[in-house]
Homo-oligomer: A and B are copies of this chain.
Amino acid sequence: MAKRKTMRTDIAWSTTDSITVKGLDVCRDILGKVSLGDMAFLELTDRLPTPRESIVFNAIAVCLVEHGLTPSALVTRLTISGAPEAMQAAVGAGLCGLGSVFVGSMEDAARLLQQAMPMVDGRPDPQADIAALAGGIVDRQMAAGASVPGIGHHIHKPVDPRAPALFAIAREHGFDGPYIALMNAVAAEAGRRLGKNLPCNATGAIAAVACELGLPWEIVRGIGVMARAIGLVAHVLEELRNPLAREMKTLVEEMATAHFRPAA
């Protein structure tokens, strides 16, 4: 019955008169001084952002908060309609769909960028041949029969307006580096090979900017998860005030079982 491994957390601890998070005293160093977005940066990176990092990080996180009636939003609304006493579970259920299809493509893009980038002393090699790296990424994806994440958009054509907006913010605050260049080169190369215009979309832009901020690709999906939780609370509220879940259910059920019913 002996404890065999040490269980250890370094995130937070408290005493009778203080709470410490990531080495900062909550009451003295955080409350009233650190915004929610900067707190998220602290949670992900173990330090507060610089003012310029703050603007850029908040921009990518904000971009992920609200995408309207996504599958996740519909899940949250259907769930609150059955369990209005459990808002937390409605949001939790909504998050469960942020997998490989939606938020995962952001993670994939960040992973491809980071795995391709040659590093020198912990920083991207300034001599890196961006065009060659982009070609390699596209080659490997195509050889694997996989799509190239972070490019094109089924609604926003010819370009997802969030991508240039995010890149402009990054540029303005000093984060216009090799990952953004590589992401755009990947989009251009993939478009060239497929004979389509497939510019970098919001997903790809967020991935590239997250790389510029030094965030490891393994946590990029987490930015989407935390941001979307905010948006899903807004959908809880709207569903409570102006519901649509039940009508949706009735409509879909009627349409999807129509083949069983005799024509009127």
Please give the residue numbers on chain A whose beta carbons come within 8 Å of chain B beta carbons, in ascending order.
Answer: 1, 3-14, 16-22, 26-27, 30-32, 34-40, 43-44, 54-55, 58-59, 61-63, 65-72, 74-75, 78-104, 155-157, 159, 161-162, 165-166, 168-169, 172, 218-219, 221-227, 229-231, 233-238, 240, 242, 244-261
Residues of chain B contacted by A5 (CB below 8 angstroms): 247
Q: In the bound complex, do residue B89 and residue A95 qualify as a contact, i.e. CB atoms below 8 Å apart?
A: yes
Residues of chain B contacted by A229 (CB below 8 angstroms): 91, 95, 225-226, 229-230
Residues of chain B contacted by A44 (CB below 8 angstroms): 233-234, 237
> Can you list 6 residue pairs at the A/B interface with Cβ under 8 Å?
A7-B256, A12-B67, A32-B55, A71-B245, A83-B89, A88-B95
Instruction: Report the separation of the CA atoms of residues A249 and B71 in the bound assembly, to the nearest whole angstrom.
Output: 6
A40-B83 contact given A31-B59, A225-B91, A238-B10, CB 8 Å threshold: no
Q: In the bound complex, do residue B65 and residue A36 qualify as a contact, i.e. CB atoms below 8 Å apart?
A: yes
Main secondary structure of the interface of A (DSSP, over half): helix
Q: In the bound complex, do residue B99 and residue A84 qualify as a contact, i.e. CB atoms below 8 Å apart?
A: yes
A97-B68 contact given A19-B162, A230-B226, CB 8 Å threshold: no
Residues of chain B contacted by A162 (CB below 8 angstroms): 19, 26-27, 31
Q: In the bound complex, do residue A89 and residue B87 qualify as a contact, i.e. CB atoms below 8 Å apart?
A: no
Shortest beta-carbon distance, A154 to chain B, in Å? 10
**Which one, B68, B90, B161, B254, contacts A18 given CB within 8 A?**
B161
Starting from the known contacts A7-B247, A44-B233, 20 additional A-B residue pairs (CB-CB under 8 Å) come to A4-B247, A12-B66, A16-B155, A19-B156, A19-B162, A31-B63, A31-B169, A39-B65, A40-B65, A69-B253, A81-B97, A81-B101, A83-B99, A86-B96, A87-B225, A91-B92, A93-B94, A218-B240, A222-B237, A244-B256
A26-B68 contact given A10-B238, A18-B161, A92-B96, CB 8 Å threshold: no
Q: Tell me how many chains of this kind the complex includes.
A: 4
Instruction: Report the separation of the CA atoms of residues A83 and B225 in the bound assembly, to the nearest whole angstrom.
Output: 13
Instruction: Report the separation of the CA atoms of residues A74 and B99 in the bound assembly, to the nearest whole angstrom.
Output: 17
A8-B99 contact given A36-B61, A86-B85, A236-B222, CB 8 Å threshold: no
Instruction: Report the separation of the CA atoms of residues A5 and B243 in the bound assembly, to the nearest whole angstrom.
Output: 10
**Which one, B30, B93, B253, contacts A62 given CB within 8 A?**
B30
Residues of chain B contacted by A102 (CB below 8 angstroms): 82
Q: Which 3 A-B pairs have the closest CB atoms?
A: A83-B99, A36-B37, A229-B229
